[in-house]
Amino acid sequence: MRNGLIIALLFFCSLISQAQQIVPYDPKEEIVYDGKRYRVHNNWLSAGMGWAVNTHRELDQKTVAVDYNFHIRRQYFQAGAFMSGNNFTPGNNYNFHVGFGLRKETARYNLAAFVGPSASYFYRPLPDTLNYDISRLYNRVGAYASVQAVYKIKYDVGIGLEVFGDYNQTQSIFGTRIILYFSGAYRGIKKGHYIDSKKSKG
């Protein structure tokens, strides 16, 4: 499984390199949508909660996460964290990750995929003669990947679904989350354009 993840990472890197465009990069490039100005190259915050499966836990888990998704020139990156656990008890898993990825944005949708290294801190229940001992702390380095599909309610605000997975030598976690999307694309009203609040879609 570890070799498969390495191959997947290399394949993803090749996709990213092929996705780079020759068109000159303009950090101030904008578009006009519904009479408002939005920056083409923008960052966004995604946060949400959902459900997950842990390969070393019997019960389905709850998970919450927050990610800051940003760009350096035309390349997009992600930095974030998520927590998962049966009932958000001391036996939780705490995960921190960074990644690089691809993004496709339209007026109504934002699609993105990221992959990169992660660090997890968690207590794993160990069988004892009388009960379960969760006093052993694990620190593990692994690989994290996620795919986001967001429908925009406004150009810079939306709601969507995220599928994610994290793997290390001790455990694997896979799941889905419902996320909220907040973009920093908004730049203001286009000069000379009157917006009727009752008709505006933005």
Q: What is the per-residue pLDDT for 194?
A: 43
- The domain locations on the chain are 2-18+42-188
pLDDT one-digit tens code per residue, 87-116: 766 568 899 999 999 999 999 999 999 999
Q: In whole angstroms, what is the distance from residue 27 CA to residue 37 CA?
A: 14
CATH 2.40.160.20 assigned to domain 2-18+42-188? The reply is: yes
Q: What is the per-residue pLDDT for 89?
A: 65
Question: Is it the case that residue 7 has pLDDT exceeding 80?
Answer: no
Q: What is the per-residue pLDDT for 199?
A: 38
Q: What dihedral do alpha carbons 31, 160, 97, 42 form, nearest 10°?
A: 10
- Would you report the helix, strand and coil content of the chain in percent, each value rounded to 5? 10, 60, 30
The count of C-alpha atoms lying within 13 angstroms of the C-alpha of 90, restricted to the half-sphere facing its C-beta, is 7
Question: Is it the case that residue 76 has pLDDT exceeding 70?
Answer: yes
The Cβ of residue 38 has, within 10 Å, a number of other Cβ atoms equal to: 21
Token pair of 196 as six digits? 């009727």
Q: What is the per-residue pLDDT for 12?
A: 59
